[in-house]
Amino acid sequence: MGLVKKWQIEKSNTLGLVNNLAEVKDGSITPEKLSFGVLKKIAGVELTSSSPKIEFTDIPSNYEILYLVMSLKSSGSSQSNVRLRFNNESGAAYRWVRIYSNGSSVSTDSMFSSLDTSINLGFINYTHFYLYDVTINNPDGYHKQTSSRFSEMSSPRIGLCGGNFIVGTKASSIQIFIEDGSNLSAGSKAYLYGFG
């Protein structure tokens, strides 16, 4: 790279001359200006007691992609499923498909030909924590699409789920709950990130 000319500094929005030396102007470079194209933590929840759901509200609308990382366990007494809703929409506005394996066989299930009241993110158990990571495509004016992975290695069980929210508004809130109405156990954690 060549030398910076005096006239280039004088025309710059970020540089200025002080005692014939180039310096960065105050406020011209901020963390916000440097943090484009990276994951930014929006919020995190760590349950200290059991709860019927984990909810993220007031999600900034500037993120086109959301990323949700969770470690969840049920306080119920049987296996169930973790479910996701956007914007407290509990009507028939969701589709999903799931494929999973226990290491010796592969199974599938879905709610795609008709609509469901939430997206299935995968199994949950009361004996061990399951891990989930969910990528959410969050454009304005289009359907939200989700892609999630889940795993629990003591059983073992791993799987993939894909989902769709057919309402075209951006996600301003996300609700995570258990299908059978059980509470999420203390120690369950969820972190939401935005990309953009």
pLDDT per position as a tens digit, 94-135: 999 999 999 899 999 999 889 999 999 999 999 999 999 999
Q: The pTM is what?
A: 0.80
Q: Are 135 and 147 in contact (CB under 8 A)?
A: yes
Confidence of residue 194 (pLDDT cuts 50, 70, 90): very high
Domains of the chain: 1-34 (no CATH), 38-195 (2.60.120)
Percent of the chain's residues with pLDDT above 90: 63
Report the C-alpha gap between 113 and 116 in whole angstroms.
Answer: 10
> Per-residue pLDDT averaged across 39-54, rounded?
96
